[in-house]
Amino acid sequence: MSSVNLKRKKQTNAQMSEVMDDFDRFEFFFATHWKKIVAVAVIAVLAVAAYCTVSYISDKNKQAAALAFTQAKTIQEYEAAVKEYSDAPGWVYLKMGVLYMEDGKYDQAAENLQKAAADQTVPEIQWRAQLNLATLDEVRGNFATAASAFEDIAKSRREPGTAGFALEAYCAAVRNHLAAKQNAQAAELIKEADEFLSSLTEQEQQMFPGVKMMLASLRSEVATAK
């Protein structure tokens, strides 16, 4: 890699670190004790997003658009960039969805997250958007809908490198089944989550040190649910 390209990659990664910080705040806002598992998933997503951005600016005709997207910080700046450069990468819509969600503008959040979820260019971005859409249902109080969405994600993520997404979805699905008073479904799913975690290699399990503790907490809630 030339020194110019290396410098450009470092600059892009630095810009993307702000996106990572925003995701961390979003997950903390949602449920503090889920921070560790979410952090692993988010870091993986943003590493891919950084690479996507580097690839995006390789074409000189798109350099201005990429710069506008990576330098945007507010909803207004993102909206202006998308309006001027319509060919936005999926992570831009993912970021906008999170910002709108934090601002309590759930319809706009859903619109942008759906665009990110439909973008198959970077699977990790698509999967994160799907999880955030399910989280949006939970924040809105639609617990049964959220539980179903999380459960679908948990059972479908079996590709290499998707264990973090699946585990996050399993835990969220159990939590939402409990909130929806669907205790039988919660009890069944917690067993499936335990089995999935046990099916991972020891190295994979070490990547998610807080999962066993979270599952134990949920298992206790399931046992006492009425």
216-225 confidence digits (pLDDT tens): 999 999 999 8
Tell whether 111 is covered by a domain.
yes
End of a domain among 140, 171, 197?
140
Confidence of residue 160 (pLDDT cuts 50, 70, 90): confident
Q: Is residue 147 domain-shared with residue 41, that is, in the same domain?
A: no
27-73, pLDDT tens digit by residue? Answer: 444 444 444 444 445 555 656 666 666 555 556 557 888 888 888 99
Based on the structure, what is the number of domains in the chain?
Answer: 2
Q: Is residue 100 domain-shared with residue 173, that is, in the same domain?
A: no
Give CA–CA dist 217/189, Å, rounded. 14
End of a domain among 140, 164, 189?
140
Are the C-beta atoms of residues 202 and 158 closer than 8 Å to each other?
no
Classify residue 85 as exposed, middle or buried by CB count within 10 Å of its CB (0-12, 13-18, 19+): middle
Q: Is residue 66 domain-shared with residue 149, that is, in the same domain?
A: no
End of a domain among 113, 140, 167?
140
Task: Count CA atoms within 13 Å of residue 36 on its CB side.
Answer: 11
Helix (H, G, I), strand (E, B) or coil at 158: coil
Give the range of the structural domain holding residue 158, as residue numbers without chain letter: 142-226
Q: Is residue 104 domain-shared with residue 164, that is, in the same domain?
A: no
Helix (H, G, I), strand (E, B) or coil at 87: coil
